[in-house]
Amino acid sequence: MDAVIASLPQYWDGFLRTLYLSVISGIIALIVGTILAAMRVSPVAALRGFSTFYVEVARNTPLTIIFFFAAIVLPRLGVKFEQFEVAAIIALSSYTAAFIAEAVRSGVNSVPVGQAEAARSIGMTFIQVLGFIVLPQAVRTVIPPLINILIALVKNSSVAGAFFVLELFGYGRQLSNDYGDQVLWILLGVAFFYLLITVPLGLLAHFVERKVAIAR
């Protein structure tokens, strides 16, 4: 317990870095995932094919391997970055985007097809149909799985700790070494700070779900 209190500054620093990784990766993944989902339902076969390929590869590859690729292979291919955080963000967002794409696609499929047909028959383009009619109605069904994915993202960001990024888990490892006799407390402290992010996310899910309820 003393170890936890003595290490609060490190915890705080790690907490902020975990939060930073999660928020940035989450935003990028939401944008990329939505675009991938749009490609998946588009009338252009090449876009559908690309999206399907990407999603299947990304979500069926272990996250550690994607991290390895981003942190070690990308730099060898000439993609240079100053900090390993950038590699972590690339890995986390490209991995999470695949799951978000699947969630959004299933949400799109939950909207009755007549809605899109009506929108198309008043002359809307594919993008307009999606943006004005289908996605706003898909939000309601997409929110619960989306929050699940984001919670998983927060926890997945701990993999960055193994790739030289000092976030919560990275500090956890360091502190466990420093306080070998109080490892249990140190790790409980780490878990507590993760919960500080993930529990409010769950609460947010409930709130947003109620807010966007559509009468049918």
Partner 1 sequence: MTTQASGDALVSLNGVNKHYGQLHVLKDINLQVRKGEVVVVIGPSGSGKSTLCRAINRLETIDDGAIAIDGKKLPEEGKDLAHLRADVGMVFQSFNLFAHKTILENVTLGPIKVKKVAKGTADKEAMALLERVGVGHQAPKLPAQLSGGQQQRVAIARALAMKPKVMLFDEPTSALDPEMINEVLDVMIQLAKEGMTMIVVTHEMGFARKAADRVVFMADGQIVEDATPEEFFTNPKSDRAKDFLSKLLTH
Stretch that binds partner 1, among 14-22, 87-95, 130-138, 156-164 (CB under 8 A): 130-138
Identified binder of partner 1 from the candidate list 118, 184, 199, 204, rule CB under 8 A: 118
User: 76 vs 216, which CB is nearer to partner 1?
Assistant: 216
Rounded alpha-carbon distances, angstroms, from residue 87 to 37, 67, 90, 127: 24, 7, 5, 32
Q: Cα–Cα distance between 75 and 80 in angstroms, integer?
A: 5
Q: Which two tokens stand for residue 38?
A: 């749009």
Q: Cα–Cα distance between 130 and 137 in angstroms, integer?
A: 10
Cβ-contact 183, 132 below 8 angstroms: no
Identified binder of partner 1 from the candidate list 49, 62, 112, 200, rule CB under 8 A: 112
Q: Which two tokens stand for residue 179?
A: 């306080």
Identified binder of partner 1 from the candidate list 1, 2, 9, 43, rule CB under 8 A: 43
Does 133 interact with partner 1 (rule: CB under 8 A)?
A: yes
Task: Please report how close the Cβ of residue 146 comes to partner 1 at its closest, in angstroms.
Answer: 18
H helices within 41-112, ranges in order?
45-59, 63-68, 74-76, 84-110
Does 46 interact with partner 1 (rule: CB under 8 A)?
A: no
Say how far residue 188 (Cα) sits from the centre of its chain.
24
Does 60 interact with partner 1 (rule: CB under 8 A)?
A: no
Give SS3 for 157. helix
Does 203 interact with partner 1 (rule: CB under 8 A)?
A: no
Task: Please report how close the Cβ of residue 118 comes to partner 1 at its closest, in angstroms.
Answer: 4
User: 62 vs 131, which CB is nearer to partner 1?
Assistant: 131
Does 41 interact with partner 1 (rule: CB under 8 A)?
A: no
- CB atoms under 10 Å from CB of 170, counted, come to 22
Does 216 interact with partner 1 (rule: CB under 8 A)?
A: yes
Identified binder of partner 1 from the candidate list 8, 136, 192, 207, rule CB under 8 A: 136
Please report where in the chains the tokens 């959004």 appear, as a residue. 104
Does 49 interact with partner 1 (rule: CB under 8 A)?
A: no
Residue ranges that bind partner 1, judged by CB under 8 A: 43, 112, 114-115, 117-126, 128, 132-133, 136-137, 214-216
